[in-house]
Structure 1
Amino acid sequence: MNAHSYRKPAIVLAALAAATLAVLALAQVQVIAIPEPYTDTGIPFAPAQAGAVAAPSAPDAWGGPRTGSEPTLSDRVVDYKIAATLDPDKHTVDGKQQLTWRNRSAHPVRTVYLHLYLNAFEHAGTTFFTEHRASGGGMFSRDPREGEWGHINLRSVTQGGAKVEQSFVQPDGGPASDRTVVRLDLPQPVQAGASTTLDIDFHSQLPRLLARSGYFGSFHLVAQWFPKIGVLELAGERGATRPRWNVHEYHAESEFYADFGSYDVKLTVPKDYTVGATGELQGAPVEKNGMLTHHYVQGDVHDFAWTADKRYAAPLMGSWSGAGSPPVSIKVLYMPEFAASAAPSLKAAQDALTYYSKTLGPYPYKTLTVVLPPHNASEAAGMEYPTFYTADSYATVDPKSRQEFELDLVNIHEFGHGYFYGILASNEFEEPMLDEGLNEYWNMRMARERGQLLHPAPRWLRAIGVSPGFDGFHFELGGAVRENPADPAGQNAYTRLQGIGPAYNRSATIFHDLEAQLGKQATEQAFKEYYQRWRFRHPSTADLRETLAQASGQRALVERVFAQQVYRTGKVDDRVQSISSEEVLPQPGSGIVNGKRVELTQDQVDKQIDDAREKWEKAHPDAKHGAGPYPYRTEVVVRRRGEAVPQTLLVRFADGSSETVKWDPQNGERWERFVWQKPVKAVSAELDPERKHLLDTNKLDDSRTVKADGSAARRWTFDLAALAQAILTLIATI
């Protein structure tokens, strides 16, 4: 995700119209039919408001599971051969492309659709900028100025030498001026199972860096730069009931979706420019007329991006190897002023390769390119493409600093997209949780297992010894929208009331809580099965749900979490309403003693109690406070003001003993009273003692003590006083 993908969503809250896709019963999926808009070719577009898919894909979807015995890693649908030349002064790319596409459907196809993503930046009336303004205009650091717009022109498109007619469409109902999707009416239909080749001459004007692609000075991040065909989904794939074109407009907060294929790309740039790109370089670059042509090839990917700059330092090279993966050559491209970030980025990439390949599955490619953008090009940071990603850049990296955490984590996060966005290749328009959410969750798991903490204090506070640290999952809570979530985790990227941020933060928290209930081993085994079953196949939310339910062996729990949090906006809010622990004492009145009715007055009862206490204390001189001759009746009341989640209640007693009970009412009860009668007084009651439910809106009301305890308030008061004193002392010394 563009621009510091693990941080930025916490502050990006785009105000777009909300649309909820599917409603599920507590543990039962109910599919809601969404009408598909038909094109005049008879093949519909995917619904404009599509989101989390509720119906699992067919077993043979996308050609069926990849066993490893096939000649290629993916069932390649498209083949791109591109020859492109960069003009670094005009920031343009002129390209000639042969696009070969295979019709997987059982019917002839005469109309196809291409994404022209750079046209999102051609003027302020595109879908991209319309949504940008609707969000309050705060998505980007600045809007384009005169001469900074970008576009892509199709100079010619032919099929077998015959001209192909073009027209622009808006499949999502965006402005008529949006030209990010083009319709091509072919002179010759593509028969079922057959392929066709389109010869395309195109010209791309890169925008000044704003989001995901563009230039600043001599730096060029060339992404979404070529005509890219949409995905023809078949019945049984991602909820489709018949063939449909999945070809959304370029939305401000969405990313991408494409078929797997092969790329053979020749990039011609001035000879003093250094190039990094998706895939494997084929031999040494070839020089001609002061230009170098770099030839890259990569199969079984669904996109191709590259960078070129004359200011790059000599690349930092490294390698990695792991079980089941080919040896990986790693290249880090950086500016001389950011040399301090290069080695940490290489190390983070190597560590991420180890962790992701161990916990999910082998990394199948032979290369990885890491790009650290220059000054004033931070909009290029935090973006992922196959075998290629961009990270942050720092001139200095202090140990245990926010910079160290961010540099490390953004490398890990962007590499991790190579799995969830790259190899699993989910639809980032419609189901961003499957990429942004799962990857955020997985890279925070990695940080947790490394014992890595975020230290948010600025350098001047660290200099005086104030450097608190907390783990990544608690960092996620800042953007998890626990109190009043408006959008299901499974909502699409571009019709969210609260913006794309919760697709990261809330989703990561949801899966943290699911893992806490499933257990680490069951969770990891289930995700390994997800990778094994769905790599190179474009899984849906329902496919993830089914895989986790089957592989973990805990279907009811998985389905409940998905019903509450993925397909709906479930608030979690359990609390300890009250706790009391009182001695069960004799009471005045009449009763039967030794077969006779007797009556005790209050004075007699008080004397009986005093005598019993005195006798007990003599017999138990070392007894702890809270024990005595009479038992204690402890009563704890818990309340539920949100979704039903399995809870644990822990009650501690004065003698160090405890009682643990499970609270998981099956009939919708909103409260419960638990009672114990023990020889000792209770001290406290706590819900969720293992912190399995970070999604709970308020963890402070999860526990209560019998006796009022002001230590927490005093601690915060003393900490704030100490901090204030330190600041005043520092000011006095300046």
Structure 2
Amino acid sequence: MHSRHRATLALSTLLVLMPALAAARTPSASPAAPDAPTGCPTIPLAAPDAAAVRVASAADAWGGPRTGKEATLSDRVVEYSIDAELDPAKHTVKGKQTLTWRNRSAQPVCSVYLHLYLNGFDGPGSTFMTEQRASSSGFRSNVATKDGEYGYIRLDKVAQAGQAAKWTFVQPDNGPKTDRSVVRIDLPQPVAPGASTTLAIDFFDQLPRVVARTGYYGSFHLVGQWFPKIAVLELPGERGALAPRWNAHEFHLHSEFYADYGRYDVRITVPKDYTVGATGQQVGAPVEKGGKTTHRYVQDDVHDFAWTADKRFATPLVKTWAGPRGPVDVKVLYPPEYASNAEPVLQATIDALDYFSKTLGAYPYKTATAVVPPYGAKEAGGMEYPTFFTADNTDTVTPGSLPRWMLDFVTVHEFGHGYFYGILGSNEFEEPMLDEGMNEYWDQRMMTARKQDLVLQLPWMRWLGIGTRITPFDMERLGASLHDPADPLGANSWDRLSSASYGTVYSRTATAMRQIEALVGTPAMERAMKLYYERWKFRHPSAADLRDALAEGTGKPAIVDAAFDAYVYSTGRTDDRIASLSSREVLPLPGYHAYQGRQVLVGSKAIDAAIAKRREAWKKAHPDAKLGHGAFPYRTTVVVRRDAVKPPQTLRIHFADGSHRDYPVTAQNSWQRFVVVAPAKAVSAQLDPDDRVRMDANRLNDGRTLEPKPQASRRWFGEFTALLHSLLALLATV
């Protein structure tokens, strides 16, 4: 055969065999059940365009606030007992799971939904990979998946009380029919209101080569989103729900996760020469048998579980932190080639434990495990799970260097997720700003408290002996797309203009929160954030719940509500600017003047003579007076133009005698004019002199001088270099 004919025949054969190949890969596909079981009430799925919630949750949502007097930290809904065995040569996990779930609703439940996240990596037909191909600005490091490197999860059995359940794959967000990241399980027996049921599930994982969040590279295995996980049944008054609904979205390119709190009891079996790290506390001594070792980890009051195993891990670095709720064992797992990273990651984790415990609330768990990924598996870095996260890796740990800053920041960021994604349980599908954005904001507050600015010094800059120092929040502001925001901060994770627009969830949220803090005052913002955490820990708050906590805690509801209306719920753009500045002497003019009760005509010559005489006398009396300060006052006129969102701010006018005056800028129309008569001539006018309006799209037009100044070019350079940093930070943390 000719080669072209052979290729055509091979392609035809492959097309014919594709259904059989798919069935072989996923033999668990139970007979489809397209409709809900007969006689059962239908519980709808959350809408495919669900996003930021505007209506606050009910006071008793999720069982009401956790006061600390309850028997458990969370209102536990699920319990997972899992036995998992890793085959590191084939990169597979064989699992048996019992899942016990409680029906919190007031109606019987006949079908449940499970997330099968690993199927996002099963091939080009998944929602995840479809969106990755369509992404114009890339995703993480864009490592390609090659033949033999795909991954999937297969259901082999689902049974309830010994009876086999039927299941079918669904696409709640109207994704491709080939997506298998969500499955509906039709139960043989309904679950009564308030009752619990247990599902026995056998499953099999083929881990992918790690390209994002989970998978393997050589002997290194990061096993995340690896087991069948039940979706969240939301009730009326919870995150805007008006009736019971299943919150079960597909695994999108940018979406992460959302699940109920519960208990995890997991036994992990690996070859005996493998080191394991995982969510939670290790219970009992590892059990060795037949060249394999089984490790048991247990953790209550979390909503996910992940683990890692590698035969190349060095001896873990371990330290105990004396937290307010008792000692916390802090562990860093790392490969030999990144031994220099272990101590900085350990210290940053301990510092974060201390900072978050003091500023939000006490860390409630007994362990915190950080993993430094090996060379070649950087894509596994920057990922968070309860009590367990992956950091960055770098060859340069010199204090003050950009790589060291990134190592520290990614560690702080991924630990911080343990609060905003973990303890607060934000819905990362629909409201990613509550996790990624709020976490970024609090992380940069910590980096600021650490006095850890970014220092940009490229090789040619080192040769010239120059460098640029940029504060963390300046970096965030310059990466926040303030000039042209495409999507509201409150938009969901998948329905966005681009990956770059999704990236502003981090930087634009951090910038908006920093502006609220500047306008209400730091002590008020800190009170509000503590209130938010205390009220909503272990309860899955919405954007509206955050808004109301900030409004109440700061005591400035008008400022908070305006910011949320402008930036969270819409694409508000702020760009106040100085449109004009003039300052002229106020001199007497010829004409009729009132004098001793009658009108007196004063001519030009007389006026000029009087002006000269007064100036001469004033100069003699003030021989050291500065230029612009004289015998006559000056009338200064400043016009401020206001575009789109108009937050309150300050106009500061500087005068030639060294003084300045501040004026409130509050007009809600497109301009505001200020006319000031003062003893000296104005030299400049500046909006927002105290740097409170962080969302201003262009700071270069916020100031104006009567004489040209060279500072603008330097400010352009600063903005450019800070933008480079913001892009690097985004790449590491998305």
Which of the pair has the greater relative contact order for Cα pairs under 8 Å at 6+ separation?
1
- The change in CA–CA distance for 1:711 and 1:224 in structure 2 (over 3 A counts) is closer
Distance 2:165 2:460 in 1: 63
| Separation in structure 2 between the aligned mates of residue 343 and residue 651 of structure 1, nearest angstrom | 50
**1:654 and 1:681 in contact (8 A); partners too:** yes
Of 543, 546, 552 in structure 1, the residue corresponding to residue 545 of structure 2 is: 543
* Matches for 1:137-156 after TM superposition, within 5 Å: 138-139=138-139, 140-156=141-157
Determine the structure 2 residue equivalent to 1:622.
624
The corresponding residue for 1:129 is: 129
CA deviation vs aligned residue, 1:282-304 (integer Å, no higher than 9, x gap) = 12211000000000000000000
Q: Aligned partner of 1:375: which letter?
A: Y
Q: Does 1:427 align with 2:427?
A: yes
**CA 1:137 to 1:670, structure 2 compared with 1: closer, same or farther past 3 Å?**
closer
Distance 1:447 1:102, change over 3 A: same
Equivalent pair of 1:331/1:368 in contact (CA under 8 Å): yes
Per-residue deviation, 1:711:
5.1
**Contact 2:396/2:404 (8 A) holds in 1:** no
Q: Deviations over 1:495-534 (max 9, x none)?
A: 0114320110111100010100111101011010111000
CA contact (8 A) 2:688 2:702 kept: yes
Give the AA of the match of 2:89.
D
Q: Distance in 2 between matches of 1:171 and 1:385?
A: 24
* Distance verdict in 2 for CA 1:669–1:304, change over 3 Å: same
Identical pairs, percent: 58
CA contact (8 A) 2:476 2:510 kept: yes
Cα 1:711/1:688, change in 2 over 3 Å: closer
Letter in 1 for 2:205: S
- Shift, 1:456, TM fit: 2.6
**CA positional deviation for 1:468:** 1.7
Equivalent residue for 1:561? 563
Say if 1:401 and 1:459, in contact at 8 Å, map to a contact too.
no
Q: Deviations over 1:519-565 (max 9, x none)?
A: 11010110101110000000000011111111211111111111111
The reply to whether residue 396 of structure 1 matches residue 390 of structure 2 is no
User: Any idea what SS the aligned residue of 1:50 has?
Assistant: coil
Equivalent in the alignment of 1:228? 229
Q: Which residue of 2 aligns with 1:160?
A: 161
Superposed, which structure 2 residues align to 1:268-667 within 5 Å? 268-323=269-324, 325-458=325-458, 461-462=461-462, 465-499=465-499, 500-594=502-596, 597-665=599-667
Q: Quote how far apart the aligned CAs of 1:460 are.
A: 6.2
Contact persistence 2:135–2:498 (CA under 8 A): no
Q: 1:424 to 1:711 in 2, by over 3 A?
A: closer
Superposed CA deviations along residues 335-377 of structure 1, whole A, max 9, x for unmatched, are 1110111000000000000100000000000001100001110
Q: How many Å apart are 1:625 and its aligned residue?
A: 2.1
- Is 1:708 equivalent to 2:705 in the alignment? no
What are structure 2's unaligned runs of at least 5 residues?
1-33, 721-734
SS at match of 2:384: strand
The amino acid of 1:506's aligned partner reads R
Give me the whole-angstrom Cα distance separating, in 2, the residues matched to 1:711 and 1:445: 28
Partners of 2:474 and 2:570 lie apart in 1 by 23
Amino acid at match of 1:521: P
Contact 1:339 1:395 in 2 (8 A): no
Contact 1:487 1:498 in 2 (8 A): no
Give the partner amino acid of 2:590: P
Q: Is the 8 A contact 1:38 1:45 kept in 2?
A: no
3-state SS in 2 of match to 1:469: strand
Amino acid in the other structure paired with 1:308: A
The secondary structure found in structure 2 opposite 1:611 is helix
SS of the residue corresponding to residue 413 of structure 1 reads helix
Deviation at 1:427, TM superposition (A): 0.3
Output the CA distance in 2 between the equivalents of 1:152 and 1:308: 19
- The answer to whether the aligner puts 1:55 opposite 2:55 as a matched pair is yes
Does the 8 Å contact 2:378/2:392 carry over to 1? yes
Contact 2:108-2:191 within 8 A present in 1 as well: yes
Deviation at 1:713, TM superposition (A): 4.3
TM-score (ref. length: structure 2): 0.90
1:206-256 Cα offsets, whole Å, 9 max, x none, are: 001111100011110000000000000000000000000000000001000
Distance of 2:349 and 2:392 partners within structure 1 = 13
Distance 1:224 1:563, change over 3 A: same
Counterparts in 2 of 1:351 and 1:38: CA distance versus 1, 3 Å: farther
8 Å contact kept, 2:361–2:534 = yes
Give 1:250's aligned residue. 251
Give the C-alpha shift of residue 310 in structure 1.
0.6
* Counterpart amino acid of residue 221 in structure 1: L
Aligned to 2:25: none
**Bigger CA drift: 140-149 or 363-372?**
140-149
Q: Distance in 2 between matches of 1:711 and 1:158?
A: 71
Give yes or no for contact 2:137–2:498 (8 Å, CA) kept in 1.
no
Per-residue deviation, 1:457:
2.1
| Aligned-residue offset at 1:663 | 1.4
> Which residue is 1:86 aligned to?
86
Residue 241 and residue 130 in structure 1: after superposition, are their counterparts in 2 closer, same or farther (change >3 A)?
same
Structure 2 counterpart of 1:728: none
Deviation, 1:706, is 2.3
The answer to whether the Cα contact below 8 Å between 2:700 and 2:712 also exists between their aligned partners in 1 is no
Structure 1 pair 453–711 and aligned structure 2 pair: CA distance change class (3 A): closer
The residue type equivalent to 1:292 in the other structure is T
Identify the range of structure 1 (454-463 vs 554-563) with the bigger mean alpha-carbon deviation: 454-463
Alpha-carbon spacing, 1:522–1:137, altered in 2? closer, same or farther (3 Å): closer
Contact 1:38 1:44 in 2 (8 A): no
Deviates more, 1:433-442 or 1:463-472: 463-472
Give ranges in structure 1 of 5+ residues lacking alignment: 1-36, 721-734
* Secondary structure at the counterpart of residue 584 of structure 2: strand
* TM-score, with structure 1 as normaliser: 0.90
Q: Does 1:239 align with 2:233?
A: no
Deviation track 1:287-344 (CA, whole Å, cap 9, x = no partner) reads 0000000000000000000000111100001111232x22100110001110111000
The equivalent of 1:190 in structure 2 is 191
Q: What is the identity, as a one-letter code, of the residue corresponding to 2:152?
A: H
Aligned-partner Cα distance in 2 for 1:38–1:568: 37
In structure 1, what is the Cα distance between the partners aligned to 2:597 and 2:555? 60
Once residues 201 and 711 of structure 1 are traced to their aligned partners in structure 2, the CA distance between those partners, rounded to angstroms, is 67
1:700: how far off? 1.1
Compute the displacement of 1:670 (Å). Answer: 1.4
Q: Is 1:687 aligned to 2:687, yes or no?
A: yes
Structure 1 597/159 Cα, relative in aligned 2: closer, same or farther at 3 Å?
A: closer
How far did residue 458 of structure 1 move?
A: 3.3
Distance 1:381 1:81, change over 3 A: same
Where 2:468 maps in the other structure, the secondary structure is: coil
Q: CA deviation at 1:65?
A: 0.4
Does the aligned pair in 2 maintain the 1:95–1:201 contact within 8 Å? yes
Task: Give the conservation status (yes or no) of the 8 Å contact 2:155–2:204.
Answer: yes
Q: Distance in 2 between matches of 1:334 and 1:182?
A: 36
Change (3 A) 1:38 1:94: closer
Instruction: Give distance in 2, aligned partners of 1:143 and 1:715.
Output: 39
Q: Report the CA distance shift for 1:711/1:461 in structure 2 as closer, same or farther (over 3 A).
A: closer
The range that moved more, 698-707 or 335-344, is: 698-707
Give the paired residue count.
681
Q: Which shifted more, 141-150 or 270-279? A: 141-150
Displacement of 1:200 in angstroms is: 0.5
Deviates more, 1:392-401 or 1:409-418: 392-401
Q: Over the residues paired in the alignment, what is the CA RMSD in angstroms?
A: 1.9
Provide the C-alpha distance between the structure 2 equivalents of 1:278 and 1:84, rounded to a whole number of angstroms.
Answer: 14
Q: Structure 1, residues 129-161: CA drift from partner, whole Å, max 9, x if none?
A: 111122137224232111011000011111111
Q: Deviations over 1:58-86 (max 9, x none)?
A: 11100000011111100000000000000
